[in-house]
Amino acid sequence: MKCTNESMYQIKNISYSIGDHPLLSEITWSIPQGRRVALIGPNGAGKTTLFRILCGEITDYRGSIIQPKNYRIGYLPQEERNIQGDTILRSTLEGRKEVLDLEKKLTELNHSLNNSRKDQSPLLDKLGDLERKYEALGGYRLEAQAKAILSGLGFSEKDFSRPLSETSGGWRMRVYLARLLLKDPDLLLLDEPTNHLDLPALEWLEQYLFHYTGSVVFITHDRFFIDRLAHHIYELNQGRLQHYPGNYHQYEKKKRQERELLEKRWKEQQEERRRQERFIQKNRVRSDRAAQVQSRIKQLEKMKEVILPPPPTRLRFHISVDRPSYKDVLKIENMWFRYQKDWIFQDIHFHLTRGEKVALVGVNGAGKTTLTRLIMKELHPQRGSIQLGNRTAIGSYAQHQTASLNMEKTIFEEVASTTPTNHIPKIREVLGIFRFQDEEVDKKIKVLSGGEKARVALAKRLLSPVNFLIMDEPTNHLDMNSREALEHALAQYEGTALLISHDRYFLDKLVNRVVEIKNGALKEYPGNYSYYLEKRNQESKESLDSPKKSPQEKETRKQQRRREAEARQAVSKRRNQLNQEIENIEAKIHDLEKEKSEIEEKMSQPKTYKEGDLIVSLQKNHARIQTELEDLYKKWEDAKLELEEILSQLP
């Protein structure tokens, strides 16, 4: 469907300051219907502030917001909100309060009809009108929709009637998200929506948003989530908003290209400046070259300097292994475990060798944390054995470990308390990577937020001399630069790592094996997380396609394989065509946006307006380019949607 200005949410020239510090500067942005957008940028750039302006929580900004009539906005904040509702289901239904109010009126009207002896015709007419309105608003389907959303986000049938007050903060945020999705707003603003979700809930949310008909703008450090969902990326940095068509991989590619182009222009300008200066220096004293010298001097004065920003910060640190383990790091054989009645694990086997990086996955409650506690000897199996290899020095990181920090120590003192003497010089470097810089390292633990304490606990663990790391959600509370630094450190780590994380990009970069816990058993998948997803989806598809056919319906295995191969080849061919088409369109967009920027630069110069023919020509070219860009954006989105549809059908 072609988007018009009437169906767009638009902000124009939005500026906002905190005290004397300008945070947002003259931001203009349009969000068409059905667009999925990732908003990225460094911590403190103002992403959450921009969201709060969009949803109306902040009103003392400069600029204007234009939105269609009856436009509805839903906002999921990072921090926990105080939400109402007796039970989990009832609280979710509060997302459609207008339907609940109508339901209440219908109940009251039916009660009046049952108790009235007067002429009931007016009441019946009113009842009919209300029932038609209730049906049009989806009232009869509302509870089923709420239960489906709650199930997707990890709630079981028995949870629906549980009091909301019994749930933890993370599960209350899931209820809040379920309420927003049930509300079905025109624009969804999601600030770190992946923080409180496990992998199954995360995958369900991706599928839900993939088919969402409204617009979605999300802030997240989950690069896998961005890759799977984003049509466009907008980067907020130093108060400005920069647009990048495509997903996170395409954004990284475009950023590299921009940097390379800027470096090339800077080198060319420096060479041109040196050439002109050599000419001026050589001919300054020659009277017959005076006019040329003055002309070159004026050219240098008018030359607009190409400013080369500092290279992107690449945070790096190294995790040392003082004493390597032997080849066998961990052996679990015939292991059974239960807390009380039901078995959590039944006859499991697991083997880790030196240098492996393994992901441990499974739904909440499957037993991931229990298994790590068994390995750490905090729990003991009823049957079987868990044996650490010779010279294996084990260390673990988990969110709850923040409680073990000494609240009266400074950040530096707490990390130094367990750091070997030879690693003390690294403390400030590692703390800097986790956003504790300069005098901040002298803050006491007790004044830190929960996220800051988690980063201190992580730094403390990484600086300890162990050769077997067990890490539970280590990337929570880290921005993209810090995550990349941790990825690099773990990739270079010569020890062994067992990782629990819902950051799939992080797992993809590191692991060479995925172990899934399901129904008390372990199932292993060699390869990274993407390969695990592919194999798991293939297994799921095969199980759905497995009903037996009559002999008349069966085809030979050879015919079936040939037909499947032909289908795969056709899909692969079209996928390659679309990838090439998207790449060509992006190249054209890049060239046109560059040309547009150059024209806008010329149009912004006062002297341009003194030349009537020039300004008319520039305005015509600007309008032409804008039209061509809109056409290319539409073609890019169509090709991208077709590619997404093809990819969603692959096993």
Q: What is the pLDDT of residue 548?
A: 54
Q: What is the pLDDT of residue 613?
A: 73
Least confident of 62-66, 188-192, 524-528, 572-576: 572-576
Confidence tier at 241 by pLDDT (50, 70, 90): very high
Confidence tier at 151 by pLDDT (50, 70, 90): very high
Classify residue 310: in a domain, yes or no. no
Among 437, 442, 434, which residue's Cα sits nearest to residue 416?
A: 442
Residue 588 has pLDDT above 90, yes or no: no
Residue 189 and residue 74 share a domain:
yes
Q: What is the pLDDT of residue 191?
A: 92
Residue 295 and residue 245 share a domain:
no
Residue 381 has pLDDT above 50, yes or no: yes
CATH number of the domain that residue 25 is part of? 3.40.50.300
Residue 651 has pLDDT above 50, yes or no: no
Q: What is the pLDDT of residue 312?
A: 63
Residue 650 has pLDDT above 60, yes or no: no
Tally of domains in the chain: 4
Query: pLDDT for 632-647, tens place per residue?
Result: 877 877 777 777 666 6
Confidence tier at 5 by pLDDT (50, 70, 90): very low
Query: pLDDT for 470-479, tens place per residue?
Result: 988 888 777 7
CATH number of the domain that residue 619 is part of? 1.10.287
d(C-alpha 438, C-alpha 526), whole Å: 43
Q: What is the pLDDT of residue 330?
A: 95
d(C-alpha 553, C-alpha 174), whole Å: 46
> Which has the higher per-residue pLDDT, 272 or 563?
272
Query: pLDDT for 486-501, tens place per residue?
Result: 888 888 888 999 999 8
Least confident of 42-51, 57-66, 104-113: 104-113
Query: pLDDT for 395-443, tens place per residue?
Result: 888 867 677 888 989 999 988 888 888 888 888 888 888 878 888 889 9
Residue 485 and residue 454 share a domain:
yes
Ranges assigned E (strand) in 95-227 = 187-191, 215-219
Residue 198: Cβ within 10 Å count: 22
Classify residue 623: in a domain, yes or no. yes
Confidence tier at 388 by pLDDT (50, 70, 90): very high
Lookup: tokens for 150: 């709650």
Classify residue 363: in a domain, yes or no. yes
Termini Cα distance of the chain: 29
Average pLDDT over residues 179-207: 90
d(C-alpha 205, C-alpha 213), whole Å: 14
Classify residue 245: in a domain, yes or no. yes
Query: pLDDT for 550-568, tens place per residue?
Result: 555 545 655 666 666 666 6
d(C-alpha 221, C-alpha 233), whole Å: 13
Residue 273 and residue 247 share a domain:
no
Kindly state the percentage of the chain with pLDDT values over 70. 90
Classify residue 339: in a domain, yes or no. yes
Residue 476 and residue 332 share a domain:
yes
Residue 1 has pLDDT above 50, yes or no: no
Average pLDDT over residues 63-82: 87
Q: What is the pLDDT of residue 463?
A: 85
Range of the domain at 295: 265-302
> Which has the higher per-residue pLDDT, 107 or 236?
236
Give the three-state DSSP class for 118. coil
517 by Cβ neighbours in 10 Å (0-12 / 13-18 / 19+) ranks as buried
Residue 308: Cβ within 10 Å count: 14
d(C-alpha 436, C-alpha 191), whole Å: 23
Least confident of 13-17, 169-173, 296-300, 550-554: 550-554
Q: What is the pLDDT of residue 371?
A: 93
Q: What is the pLDDT of residue 105?
A: 85
Average pLDDT, the chain: 84
Residue 298 and residue 370 share a domain:
no
Average pLDDT over residues 222-237: 90
Residue 365 and residue 481 share a domain:
yes
Question: pTM score, two decimals?
Answer: 0.68
Residue 586 and residue 484 share a domain:
no
> What H or E segment, with its residue span, contains residue 333?
strand 328-338
187 by Cβ neighbours in 10 Å (0-12 / 13-18 / 19+) ranks as buried
Q: What is the pLDDT of residue 530?
A: 87
Residue 272 and residue 240 share a domain:
no
Q: What is the pLDDT of residue 429?
A: 85
Average pLDDT over residues 588-608: 77
DSSP collapsed to 3 states, 8-72: CEEEEEEEEEECCEEEEEEEEEEECCCCEEEEECCCCCCHHHHHHHHCCCCCCCEEEEECCCCCC
Classify residue 120: in a domain, yes or no. no
Residue 533 and residue 638 share a domain:
no
Classify residue 474: in a domain, yes or no. yes
Query: pLDDT for 327-338, tens place per residue?
Result: 999 999 999 999
Residue 630 has pLDDT above 60, yes or no: yes
Ranked by mean pLDDT, which of 115-129, 141-155, 396-410, 594-608 comes out on top? 141-155
Average pLDDT over residues 496-522: 91
Residue 103 and residue 239 share a domain:
yes
d(C-alpha 236, C-alpha 27), whole Å: 10
Residue 169 and residue 144 share a domain:
yes
Classify residue 118: in a domain, yes or no. no
Residue 4 has pLDDT above 60, yes or no: no
